[in-house]
Chain A
Amino acid sequence: MAFLIRTIDFTAAGRELIRERTLDQDSLTIGRAAECDIHLPDLAVEQRHVALTRQADGTLAARALGTLEFGLDGRMLTEARIDPRTGGEIALGAARLAISRESDGRVLITIRQVAAEEGKGDVLRSFALASVLPSKRAMSWIFAGAILLLLLAVPVTSHLVRSPAKPDPEGMTPGQVLFDRAWISGDLSVRHQSLANNCESCHVKAFESVQDETCIACHEETGDHAKMPRLAQGMPPLSAGDALQWRIATSLGKEGPLGCVACHSEHEGAVRQQPASEAFCADCHRDLKTRLTDTALANAHDFGKAHPQFRPLYFASFGAARPVRASLDTRPLERSGLKFPHDVHMNPRGGAARMAVSLAQYGKPLECSDCHSLTADRIGFGEVEMEEDCEACHSLVSGRTAAGGFAKLRHGDIKHLAEDLARIGTGRRPALAPGRSRPGQLGSGGGYAADFGRPVRAYIGLSNALSEGGICTECHLPTRGRTGQADLIPVNLPDRFLTRGYFNHEAHKQEKCTSCHAATTSKLASDLLIPDLASCRECHRGASAAKTKKIVPSECAMCHAYHLPAGQWQPKGKAPHYRPLPPPPESGKASSVVAALARPARK
């Protein structure tokens, strides 16, 4: 058994020097001592450091002879077994002894010196993850820089430098501020969606809350609930917490609890403006009179418990220029200028019913809807028209026309009536005898005399019609004009009776008209058939009432709107949620509130 020791050295010039020797023994020692079989002149090596002994199975047993370990394949050991067939490398100081097996069975030990590794620390640094990732600092700068640039610097700069876009409810004008869409704090309400790309239409100045004037620039038709000083006076004092909040908010430019945005909070999602709650109204109206002592409004806070009696608008005297209001508790008498006993028309066995049964267009006793028709918005009822609603029974037919039809008196204007009556006198009548003229035709009482004589008949007819017992006074009240001529009292009925609240007839269609309106027992047109508070309260109670099959908890907003003029709150369907009032009638001195049911009987 033999070891082949091969030593590889380098000359100063870098040339390799290879020396070989053979040790024919079964074990050998390695160390700094000269007597060792392998002598390593290195202070890091012990005098006698390692012994290698051949084992029966052909492997080598390596054993540290002193206390110092030796390196084998990178590990520090005191004892090890090395198989020359697979090899191994012993490290002692700077020397590396590679052990392998020659083809002839000898164990080859190749000794070479390794240069001290420099920059080992750098290699060890490769163990850290940082060696394969960009530095945390660089990533931080990039992320933070990108965010600050795109989401702060660009919008602010473009807001300061560019001239702002005008508000455009159509949504055709995009804003001039770049990337400010990323600042949106929540979806805009349904009606403001078109402004989503034009932030500066509302956010006019930097660091300034949205101002009322900005809102009003578009919503110019929105009226005040009341004038600002009165609103402020009517408001209850704020709680300490609210007062503190508003003190902070107003010091930062908010317009206080009476500003638009105090209630109309935006960016609350794609929702519709919700009606004000009962509590919101009650805040002020519960005890409004204690603060606004001169107000005409009674205190109210809960429809079921504290709501004043209705005060409908009506005409208190014949031909009055303006309607007045009075509480239904005072049993007001309406002076509309009409004669109309509802009970006669409503009685299912009366004359009116008989007549209706005999007419093809009714065929049965009269119902309310035979005379009253819902308006297109299904909320209120339109005017009753003589021609449409009354004339089927109350005929104004005056004779036959030449074409074979019926001539009738026109309704609505006394001038027309006079013309129509005059025409009756001059109408074509049958010849007394065919083909021949007879003397006396021009005599008094004859047709000619009627045509060319003094218009006595027409005037008598007109006067008869307008006087007590005449055809007009079936429904109208006679009076005398300025010059003493026969005339009728003009018909005055308000467009709406309850002008500060809204009533939707469509929503009540499961009820009979007569369960609220006392029409079946009303004998006179002076009865004001507007239902009172008690009849509404049969079903409607305050918002806090328990909902049952019969009881409907009712918020203030069910009948009232905050902004004036406004219409009824529409909880469903398309916007606008408040349906505005119908436009005022074009003619007459009657205001939008006042309109004649039948147009004034004369101009």
Chain B
Amino acid sequence: MASAAKQRRAQAGPGRFSQDERRRDSDHVSFLKHRRFRWLWIALGLSAAAIIGYALIDQEPRPNGGSWYGYTLGTIGLALIVWLSLLGVRKRRITPGAWSLKAWTSAHVYLGLALIVIGTLHTGFQIGWNVHTLAYVLMLLVIASGIYGVIAYATLPPALSANRREMTRAQMLEALGAIDRQLEAAAQPLGRAEADLVIAALGQDPFAGGPLARLTGRYPFCATARALKGLDQVGSADPGAAERVRALLEKRREQLAQIRGALRIRALLEIWLFVHVPLTIALLAALTAHVISVFYYW
């Protein structure tokens, strides 16, 4: 009995330990560095092979997507694009195993980059106003947005964290609400013109502003800023109250700046997906049209 248990431990122990160790390691390795850049090397190899083939194989009368090499590159490219776009499906199926989502993401990034080489060589550098170039341009836009996404995910989260200053999003809104309630009370002694400025500031949705305002962090129509400017111009009957309101508006502006900072970083983090995903679907449609049209008018 005892010897059996010992044996079992001898079998399971080191294996399990190393397995756990591996898991712990991999948990903290970025998908970019996954398995010592395995997919980077595979992508580089694929690109190098495609370039060497393109340089060495004589394509008459000129390099073309319709030569045998062109068809080969096109088939590889099409398979890659379809597979890459399946990341959206894969990430929704949470499964363990060798095909971890991290490995898949790593391959997605690097093979996606290799597609620049394969797709460009497939075109034979022939660009025109047609469905074929549309597919190519869409592919490049998708890849460019993906590159931006990787950079954004690598660099922006620390900024988001710094902007929070240990406040949750709910607390930021709560803080704004607290300031607003004080403002409302403090503004009671003010005259009409000043009161209207405060009402406008309080009435404005903290999330007002379109995608452009969010991305740039510029809010030229900010009612709080306008109220602050307005208070300076309007002479007040009650300088004490006006001073208090001004201080509170200043606080409100700071609080809004934090919220808007969060919005800006969130927007910068998320904007690429609004290009990447719809253009991927558009690319799949353009690829369908590209492949069918080429053989329809063969």
Contacts and interface: CB of A to CB of B under 8 A. Distances in A.
Q: By DSSP majority rule, is chain B's interface helix, strand, loop, or mixed?
A: helix
Contacts of B288: 148, 152
Contact of A245 (B68, B255, B270, B274): B68
A212 to B, nearest CB: 14
Contact of A182 (B130, B172, B294): B130
B277 A143 contact: no
Interface string B267-298: 10011011001111110111011001111111
Contacts of B172: 74
A452 interface: no
A87 B248 contact: yes
A466 interface: no
A246 B247 CA distance: 83
A155 interface: yes
B128 A186 contact: yes
A152 B292 contact: yes
A327 B61 CA distance: 37
Interface in B206-249: 207, 209-211, 214, 240, 244, 247-248
Nearest to A244: B68
Nearest to A84: B244
Given A74-B172, A143-B278, A151-B286, A132 B178 contact: no
B179 interface: yes
A168 B294 CA distance: 23
Contacts of B278: 136, 139-140, 142-143
A132 B244 contact: no
A548 interface: no
A209 interface: yes
B26 to A, nearest CB: 30
Interface string B161-197: 0000001011111111111011001100000000000
Given A87-B244, A143-B278, A74 B297 contact: no
From B128, B178, B247, name the one whose CB has the most chain A CB atoms within 10 angstroms.
Answer: B178
B297 A87 contact: no
A126 to B, nearest CB: 4
B182 A100 contact: yes
A509 B175 CA distance: 96
B53 interface: no
Interface in A226-284: 245, 252-254, 265, 268-269, 274
The bracket for how many chain A residues form the interface is 35 or more
A185 B66 CA distance: 9
Nearest to B215: A129
B207 A140 contact: no
B266 interface: yes
B251 interface: yes
A184 B130 contact: yes
B109 interface: no
Contacts of A268: 61-62, 64
A268 B65 CA distance: 11
A413 to B, nearest CB: 55
B62 A88 contact: no
Interface string A568-596: 00000000000000000000000000000
A110 B207 CA distance: 29
Nearest to A271: B61
A96 interface: yes
Contacts of A151: 131, 134, 286, 289, 293
A143 B171 contact: no
B34 interface: no
Contacts of A274: 61
Interface in A72-90: 73-76, 85-89
A86 B247 contact: yes
Q: Categorize the interface residue count of chain B.
A: 35 or more
A438 to B, nearest CB: 93
Contacts of A143: 278-279, 281-282, 285
Interface string A30-41: 000000000000
Contacts of B65: 185
A557 to B, nearest CB: 14
Interface string A111-138: 0000000001001101111111100100
Contacts of B115: none
Nearest to B65: A185
Interface stretch (A200-208, A293-301, A373-381): A200-208
A182 B266 CA distance: 39
A71 B262 CA distance: 21
B228 to A, nearest CB: 14
A147 B134 contact: yes
B126 interface: yes
Nearest to B296: A206
A245 B70 CA distance: 13
Nearest to A187: B128
Contacts of A136: 273-274, 277-278
B253 interface: no
Given A73-B251, A74-B178, A136-B278, A207 B295 contact: yes
A74 B179 CA distance: 9
B175 A75 contact: yes
Nearest to B246: A86
23 contacts: A71-B174, A74-B167, A74-B173, A75-B171, A85-B244, A86-B251, A87-B186, A100-B185, A124-B170, A127-B169, A129-B266, A129-B267, A129-B270, A142-B278, A143-B279, A143-B282, A147-B134, A151-B293, A155-B293, A156-B296, A183-B131, A185-B126, A265-B60
Given A123-B173, A143-B278, A182-B130, 12 more contacts: A76-B171, A86-B248, A96-B181, A127-B169, A129-B266, A145-B285, A147-B282, A151-B289, A183-B130, A207-B295, A252-B298, A265-B64
Nearest 4 A-B pairs (CB), nearest first?
Answer: A74-B175, A143-B282, A140-B281, A139-B278
